[in-house]
Amino acid sequence: MDEGYDAVEGDRWTGWITFAGILMIIGGLLQGLYGLVAILNDEWVVWGNSGAAFFDITQWGWIHTIWGVIMILAGLGVMSGRFLARIIGVILAGITAIVNFAFIPVYPLWSVTVVVIAIVVIYALVAHGKDVQRV
């Protein structure tokens, strides 16, 4: 065993890696659900002060569905300890953080919460991903 490696500390971070994988799976399931709802209910009406706007959100539905499937697969890969899944997980969490950062003026509490969770996921995968790494 490596002298600088603390088995207890490694075990703690293994739990965080599993947590990151579970968050990615849950996020992917929610994205897939949002996508499915948008595909099945493709007429969207937004009521504003100047009238109503009608949108066809089928394309967004497919984007959310595909994003959800990628997140689920990456989450399963992260939980299995795969290096490529960790890289994809960091990229997905980074994109999620950036997108939600842009939405802070619209949904401040929710957006900040998602950004913080994404940063924790990135930290766990980058700093301690090797604790569960498999070839």
pLDDT at residue 1, as a whole number: 46
Contact 58, 36 (CB under 8 A): no
Residue 64 and residue 30 in contact, taking contact as beta carbons nearer than 8 Å: no
Q: Is the pLDDT of residue 130 over 80?
A: no
Q: Tell me: pLDDT of 129 over 80.
A: no
CB burial string 28-44: b at 16+ within 10 A, e below = beebbebbeebbeeeee
> How far, CA to CA in Å, does 108 sit from each of 95, 103, 114?
18, 7, 10
Please say whether the beta carbons of 46 and 75 come within 8 A: no
CA angle 34, 102, 117 (to 5 degrees): 70
Q: Which residues pair with 48 in a beta bridge?
A: 51
CA distances from 6 to 2, 51, 116 (A): 8, 63, 27
Pairwise CA distance, residues 75 & 61, whole Å: 21
Count of CB atoms within 10 A of residue 73's CB? 15
Instruction: Please give the mean pLDDT across all residues of the chain.
Output: 79
Residue 47: its pLDDT value, please? Answer: 61
Q: What is the pLDDT of residue 135?
A: 43
What is the rounded average pLDDT of the residues 115-125?
87
* Domain boundaries defined on the chain: 24-72, 81-135
Q: Which of 13-17, 43-47, 101-105 has the highest mean pLDDT?
A: 101-105
Instruction: Compute the average pLDDT of residues 80-103.
Output: 88
